[in-house]
Amino acid sequence: MTLNTVGRPTRMEEGVSAASEYLHPTLTGARGLLQDEPLIFELGGWEKTGVDLPDCDASQSDDLGDLVRTARIGLPGLSEPETLRHYVRLSQKNHAIDLALYPLGSCTMKHNPRLNEKMARLPGFADIHPLQPESTVQGALSLMDRLAHWLKTLTGMPAVALSPKAGAHGELCGLLAIRAAHEAKGDARKTVLVPMSAHGTNPATAAFVGYQVVEIAQTDDGRVDLADLEAKLHDDVAAVMVTNPNTCGLFERDIIEIARLTHAVGAYFYCDGANFNAIVGRVRPGDLGVDAMHINLHKTFSTPHGGGGPGAGPVVLSAALAPFAPTPWIVSTGEGGFDLIEEAKADAAQTFGRMCAFHGQMGMFVRAYAYMRSHGADGLRQVAHDAVLNANYIKASLKDLMTQPFPDGPCMHEALFDDAWLDGTGVTTLDFAKAMIDEGFHPMTMYFPLVVHGAMLIEPTETESRAELDRFITAVRALATAAKAGDAERFKAAPFHAPLRRLDETQAARKPRLRWTPQAA
C-alpha cells in the first residue's frame, strides 16, 4: 500500500497494482490538475486565524459563569487562500450537472437555467424573512399565487398545497388529506394499495401515516396488474398509490380504469408525480381521475437538487380533497393584495392542520415560476416531448448490446436495462457503474426498480443535446464491448481515475467512520 503525503491511502492499493495499464500512481496522490485534498482539520495550524481580531479585554465581565470556554475550540486556522483552495479542490471531486450528463433514472437531473438563479437572488425574494408582516411580502405572495395557478392549470386540479418540502413530504400531505377526508365521513379505513414498482417512499409514507400496505402485482410488460388490483380493492382500502409514468419508464395504459375501480370502492387515487417531467403540458393528471399528486419542482421545473435551501413538493388536490388541504394558504383580498391564511384564522375546520412551522421555500418557488414563464405552455409541452425522445434515442442506441426487461414499444422519459447481458462476463451492475466514473460520467441509477434484476435506469432529460447523448452512448457501448470481451479486471477494480479508491461499500454502510479524531502526538 502506498501513502500520500498526509498518510492516507491513495488509489494505488494492494490488489489494484496488477492493473497498471489503467493506473499510473503519483507520489502526491494528485492526478494532474486534480488535487488530493486532506480534511480541513488536517490543514493549517491551531494557533493562527485568517483574520486579525483585537485582544479581549480581560477586565470586562460576562454572564456566562461556568459556561466560559477554558480549552481550545478545536477549529483549524486557515488563511483566506487556503480556505478558498480547500473548497475549490473539494468541488472538483463532485460530479455535477454543469460538468456532464447526469443520467440518474427517476431523479431527473437536468440543467438549472441561470436566469432562474438570477431571479431567485432579486431583493425581495432572496432576503425576506418568514416572520415579516404580510404587508411587506405582497410580491412574494403574489408570485406564490401565480405559481399555484400554473400548477393547477398544468395538472387540471382545482387546489394545491405549496407547503410540502419535497416528494416524500408531499406524499405525507396527500395521505393526511385522504385520511382526513375518510374520517370526516366516519370511515376510518386501514389499507393502502401500492404497486411492486413504486418508489420506496410510497409504502414508507403509507406506513408512517398508520396504514397497512398491500402490494399490487406487476404484469409481464411492467405495468399494474389490473386483475390483482381489482381483487384487492374493498371497502377498507383508503387509497391506491400509483406512479405514472411508472418507475420502469412506462406509461400506465389502464390509468383511467385504475381510477374508476379505485373510486368505485370509495377510495382515493394518489399519483406519485416524480415523473411528471415526461408528461407535463401533454397530459393533465386531473383528467385521468387522480385525487392527489405531489410535484417535485426540482424534477420537472428545474429547481436545484439540494444546495439551495429546502426543496419543494407541492401537492395538487381534487375537488373531493381540496377542503382538507393543510394550512396556510394564500387568498386574494380582491383589492390586488393577498392574505396568508394561518391555521388560527382558517375558516375551514376540515383542514388536517399544518405540516411545518413556516410556509414555503421561496427560492424554489421563484426558480420554478421563472422556468414556467420562460417556457410558456408550448415550451413545457416541448420539454416532455424532448425528454421522451432522448430516452428512446438511448434505448434504441444500446439495444443491440444491452438487454431490456421490457423491450416492446417505446419508453417514456427513461430507458431501463437489466443485467442479463452481463451473464458469464464476471462483471456486475455495480462494476459497470464504477467503470463509468473512469469515463467521466456519473453512473445511472443502479438496482432500481427492484422488480428488475441488476437494473440500470437511465434518464437523459430534455436538456441534453444529441452530441452529448452520443458522447454518453459511445462510452457505454465501449464499456459494454469490453465487458463482453472478458476484460473483467478493468471493471472489478474501477474506478482508477476517481479522487479516491473504490470503497468497500458493505463495510462503509455497516461501520461508517463519521468523526475525525486527531492522531496522538
Among residues 441, 489, 498, 440, the alpha carbon closest in space to that of 29 is found at 498
Give SS3 for 216: strand
SS (H, E, C) 121-162: CCCCCCCCCCCCCHHHCHHHHHHHHHHHHHHHHHHCCCEEEC
- Look at the pTM and tell me if it is higher than 0.75: yes
Which pLDDT does position 149 carry in this prediction?
Answer: 97
Residue for grid cell 490538475 = 33
**Domain co-membership, 263 together with 411:** no
> Region 84-106: what's the mean pLDDT?
90
**Domain co-membership, 286 together with 387:** no
**Helix extents (H) in 156-192:** 167-184
Q: Which amino acid is it at 33?
A: L
Q: Helix 429-438 to helix 466-484 angle, to the nearest 10 degrees?
A: 130
Question: What digits encode the pLDDT tens for the residues 37-82?
Answer: 888 888 877 677 777 778 777 666 667 878 887 877 777 888 888 8
Beta strand 329-332 pairing with 338-341: antiparallel
Which pLDDT does position 18 carry in this prediction?
Answer: 40
Question: What digits encode the pLDDT tens for the residues 232-259?
Answer: 999 999 999 999 999 999 999 999 999 9
> Region 308-324: what's the mean pLDDT?
89
Which pLDDT does position 520 carry in this prediction?
Answer: 66
**Domain co-membership, 360 together with 429:** no
Cβ 37 vs Cβ 28: under 8 Å: no
Which pLDDT does position 337 carry in this prediction?
Answer: 93
**Domain co-membership, 181 together with 217:** yes
**Domain co-membership, 246 together with 163:** yes
In a domain, 493, yes or no: yes
Which pLDDT does position 32 carry in this prediction?
Answer: 76
SS (H, E, C) 409-471: CCCCCCEEECCHHHCCCCCCHHHHHHHHHHCCCCCCEECCCCCCCCCEEECCCCCCCHHHHHH
Which pLDDT does position 232 carry in this prediction?
Answer: 98
- Alpha-carbon distance of 494 to 501, in angstroms, equals 8
In a domain, 48, yes or no: no
H/E element, 241:
strand 237-243
User: Is the per-residue pLDDT at 99 higher than 80?
Assistant: yes
- Alpha-carbon distance of 213 to 190, in angstroms, equals 9
Q: Which residues, listed in sequence order, are joined to residue 417 by a DSSP beta bridge?
A: 456
> Region 343-353: what's the mean pLDDT?
70
User: Is the per-residue pLDDT at 403 higher than 90?
Assistant: yes
Percent of the chain with pLDDT over 90: 67
Q: Which residues, listed in sequence order, are joined to residue 159 by a DSSP beta bridge?
A: 317
User: Is the per-residue pLDDT at 270 higher than 80?
Assistant: yes
Which pLDDT does position 241 carry in this prediction?
Answer: 98
**Domain co-membership, 435 together with 488:** yes
Q: Look at the chain and report how many structural domains it folds into.
A: 2
In a domain, 364, yes or no: yes
Q: Which amino acid is it at 432?
A: F
**Dihedral sign computed on CA atoms, order 109, 110, 114, 119:** negative
For residue 507, how many other CB atoms are within 10 A of its CB? Answer: 10
In a domain, 502, yes or no: yes
Domain boundary among 319, 351, 371: 371
Cβ 428 vs Cβ 483: under 8 Å: no
| CATH number of the domain where residue 261 is located | 3.40.640.10
In a domain, 24, yes or no: no
Domain boundary among 341, 371, 401: 371
**Domain co-membership, 232 together with 277:** yes
User: Is the per-residue pLDDT at 9 higher than 80?
Assistant: no
Extract the C-alpha cell encoding 342: 394561518
In a domain, 65, yes or no: no
User: Is the per-residue pLDDT at 7 higher than 50?
Assistant: no
Domain around 421: 377-510
Q: Which residues, listed in sequence order, are joined to residue 45 by a DSSP beta bridge?
A: 77
* Highest mean pLDDT (candidates 122-126, 307-311, 368-372): 368-372
* Residue 4 banded pLDDT, cuts 50, 70, 90: very low
In a domain, 6, yes or no: no
Cβ 465 vs Cβ 389: under 8 Å: no
Which pLDDT does position 14 carry in this prediction?
Answer: 38
User: Is the per-residue pLDDT at 16 higher than 90?
Assistant: no
In a domain, 500, yes or no: yes
More confident residue, 350 or 21: 350
**Domain co-membership, 215 together with 282:** yes
Question: What digits encode the pLDDT tens for the residues 456-515?
Answer: 999 999 999 999 999 999 999 999 999 999 999 999 989 988 877 788 888 888 999 888
Which pLDDT does position 46 carry in this prediction?
Answer: 66
Average pLDDT over the chain reads 89
* Residue 12 banded pLDDT, cuts 50, 70, 90: very low
Q: Residues for the chain: how many in total? A: 521
**Domain co-membership, 447 together with 473:** yes
**Domain co-membership, 356 together with 477:** no
**Domain co-membership, 334 together with 384:** no
Which pLDDT does position 40 carry in this prediction?
Answer: 87
Q: Torsions phi, psi of 470, nearest 5?
A: -65, -35
Extract the C-alpha cell encoding 207: 406506513
User: What's the farthest any 2 CA atoms get from each other in the chain?
Assistant: 82
Among residues 191, 202, 193, the alpha carbon closest in space to that of 450 is found at 202
User: Is the per-residue pLDDT at 340 higher than 80?
Assistant: yes
Extract the C-alpha cell encoding 274: 416524480
User: Is the per-residue pLDDT at 197 higher than 90?
Assistant: no
| CATH number of the domain where residue 434 is located | 3.90.1150.10
* Residue 17 banded pLDDT, cuts 50, 70, 90: very low
**Domain co-membership, 329 together with 409:** no
User: Is the per-residue pLDDT at 420 higher than 70?
Assistant: yes
- Alpha-carbon distance of 467 to 2, in angstroms, equals 40
- Alpha-carbon distance of 102 to 120, in angstroms, equals 24
User: Is the per-residue pLDDT at 15 higher than 80?
Assistant: no
* Residue 36 banded pLDDT, cuts 50, 70, 90: confident
Domain boundary among 371, 388, 407: 371
| Helix (H), strand (E) counts: the chain | 13, 12
Question: What digits encode the pLDDT tens for the residues 205-222?
Answer: 999 999 999 999 999 999
